[in-house]
Each structure stands twice: as structure tokens, then as C-alpha cells.
Amino acid sequence: MSTVQAIVRYLFTSPGTSFNYYTPFVIATIAAAVVPAVHFLLEGRQRVRNVLPIQQALDSAAKILTVAAVLAFVLMFCRHANVPVLSWRIWLYFYVIGLGIAFVLALRFIYGELPRRLAAHDNELLRSRYLAPPNQRQVLRAGERRRSVQRT
């Protein structure tokens, strides 16, 4: 029972000055904040503007990294300021577990869903290249023709 109490005490107490991981945590957080900035500000979107699935994947990755960086800065501020509830170690572990889950889901998307989306995008490009666009007047009158054919 004392082991469980020690673990609970460790997780739900603020570390005070014993948190010595500020430097690597700050470097990782700044790197996570720089990736979306490079993507949006330095024309990362312009390089893949013709490939919609990759652009959507980069946009969602930039959003996720921005949220992760903001949460990391809030956690670091709370730990440094020794805010009573928000400086507990459990929040850091939840943060790391959440990042791990996001990483696994990103790998699943990259190797599972993205190839299918790229193939569908390539098929759409081929279809639009070789098939003429529909005539709008014929498309509008298509329902009328079907009804007249069915009556006769």
C-alpha cells in the first residue's frame, strides 16, 4: 500500500525546483511551434498547392503542432510559477501520452489513408484531363429527357 501512496504523492504534488527538464522541453516546444510557422509563413503551402491531399495533411499537422506547442508553454509556465493544481506531474504525463497517441494516429494516416487519397487525386486528375467537362445545358435537361423516354 505504501508504494501506491508514494506513486499518488509523486503524481499529485508540484515538483518545485526539482523539475530540471526545462531546456529540452523548451527546445522541443519551439521546434513544434516553428514547423507550422514555416508551413504557413514561408510558402510551404505554395510548393504543394496542386496536390490537395498532401496540403490537407500538412494543414492538419500544423494545427496539431500549434495546439501541442501552446499546451506545452502553458504547462511550463504553470510548473515554473508553481500553480497549485496545474503544476502537478500528472498533467505532464497526460501531455506526453496525448502526444504519443497523436503520433501513432499520424503514422496510421500517413501509411494507411494518405496513399489512398493520393491515388484518388491522381485518378481525378487523369479523368479531368481526358474527359471533357459536361455541357451545362445538357446536364440541366437530362432529367426532362429521362421522363420523356419513360413515358413513350
pLDDT at 141: 65
pLDDT at 97: 92
pLDDT at 136: 64
pLDDT at 12: 72
pLDDT at 108: 92
Query: From CA 69, how far away is CA 33, in angstroms rounded?
Result: 6
Residue 1 has pLDDT above 60, yes or no: no
Q: Work out the percent of the chain whose per-residue pLDDT is above 70.
A: 74
- Residue 55 near residue 48, CB atoms below 8 Å: yes
Smallest CA-to-CA distance from 51 within 125, 139, 149, 107 is with 125
- List pLDDT tens digits, range 65-108: 888 888 988 888 888 787 777 777 788 888 889 989 998 998 99
Confidence of residue 147 (pLDDT cuts 50, 70, 90): low
pLDDT at 135: 66
pLDDT at 152: 54
State the DSSP string of the chain: -HHHHHHHHHHTS--GGG---HHHHHHHHHHHHHHHHHHHHTTHHHHTTT-HHHHHHHHHHHHHHHHHHHHHHHHHHHHHHT-TTTTSHHHHHHHHHHHHHHHHHHHHIIIIIHHHHHHHHHHHHHHHHHSPPPPHHHHHHHHHHHHHHHH-
Confidence of residue 144 (pLDDT cuts 50, 70, 90): low
Query: From CA 76, how far away is CA 16, in angstroms rounded?
Result: 12
Provide the Cα torsion 39, 53, 104, 59; round to 10°.
30
